[in-house]
Structure 1
Amino acid sequence: MLHVITGGSGSGKSAYAENWLLEQREKNLYDENSENTNPSAPLYIATMIPYGKEGETKVIRHRRLRAGKGFRTFECYRDLVKADIPVNTGILLECMSNLTANELYDEAGNMNKPEKVKRQILEGIRHVIEKTDLLVIVTNEVQGDQMEYSEETKIYQRVLGEVNQSLAGLAEKVTEVVYGIPVEIK
């Protein structure tokens, strides 16, 4: 199952995603009709490159919030399709907006072709889906404000929006978290 969870910054989507995944895993592990009896720890695919003090602080905060939940962290900033992901019973990929930015710009800061980036991200997601029974992807809502942005930012927003649309089409479940309240979209 693929579940896409979206929302604005600070909406509570990360906590919701973690808790939802753990609840689903527990249900599946103890469902006598389930073929999956592997109780391995869920995998947390971290996509944020922790640039500077602010990035490091955010990573520490997220690790603290996940503490005691049993996640194994797997850092993968780009090229999901090449990632050596172990077969498992649940993956939380956080977050698509970071992965999109990492794929859109190479390590030297040059912009890659948007169509290639979109294709590469979706191939990577298909690769991850092959490794798990349950994939939860956290993404961000970046189109909601009325500000005028640079052309580069508009390209990023367009690519992320198109990736999110493709993911929603693949997903069995889509949820938007608004002020900590999950609103089922699909």
Structure 2
Amino acid sequence: MGRIILVTGGARSGKSSFAESIFDGIKEVVYIATAKIYDEEMEQRIERHKKSRPAEWITYEGSYNIERAVKDKKNYILDCITVMSSNIMFDITRDCEIIPLEKQQEVEEKVEGEIIALIDKIKAIDGNLVMVTNEVGYSIVPENHVARVYRDIIGRINQKIARLSTEVYLVTCGIPRRIK
């Protein structure tokens, strides 16, 4: 029986490194990368991430139709839900200074739909999926409306995904703790 694992924690907490370590020594892994290159800093971050992964791992890039990454391999990493969510949120709300409730719901439903489609496809092949996300609600309430909406959407998405996961880990200061 396959595993559905959620890895969460703060920024730079060691989430991605821990997620990758779950597949240590396994050559057949598909890495679903959701980041987009918007500037030189992001390009450097993406390059660092690519170099840290085993060369045998396959990379699938995108925030939409991510279930298409599932083919003949059994092991998958989705890194990360929060970046994927921000990409989707920007695409849906890019012209909004204040995001109406119906747009907020559209974003949340799209993100949830992407993740559920991926989980369903992984389960259908009896595969293993490790998903990385951020805990964005541990800080002060954001002053900016868009940031508050994003925080709220991610909080609800993380709760839903945790319920669907067989294991959940919280990573703090590079130390993973299983919480489910």
TM-score normalised to the size of structure 2? Answer: 0.85
Listed as ranges, the matches of 1:16-35 within 5 Å are: 16-22=18-24
Unmatched segments (≥5 aa) in structure 1: 27-39
Please name the residue that 1:64 is paired with. Answer: 51
Measured in 1, the distance between the counterparts of 2:141 and 2:107 equals 25
Give the deviation of 1:146 after TM superposition. 1.7
Q: What's the Cα RMSD here?
A: 2.1
Further displaced range: 101-110 or 164-173:
101-110
Please name the residue that 1:153 is paired with. Answer: 147
Please name the residue that 2:59 is paired with. Answer: 73
Matched, 1:125 2:119: no
Listed as ranges, the matches of 1:7-156 within 5 Å are: 7-22=9-24, 41-68=28-55, 70-80=56-66, 83=68, 85-106=70-91, 109-110=94-95, 113-132=103-122, 133-146=127-140, 148-156=142-150
Q: Are the equivalent residues in 1 in contact too, given 2:7–2:168 (CA < 8 A)?
A: yes
Give the deviation of 1:109 after TM superposition. 2.1
Paired residues, number: 169
Measured in 1, the distance between the counterparts of 2:166 and 2:33 equals 22
TM-score normalised to the size of structure 1? Answer: 0.82
Q: 1:11 to 1:168 in 2, by over 3 A?
A: same
Aligned residues with identical type, % of pairs: 30
Unmatched segments (≥5 aa) in structure 2: none
Measured in 2, the distance between the counterparts of 1:179 and 1:126 equals 29
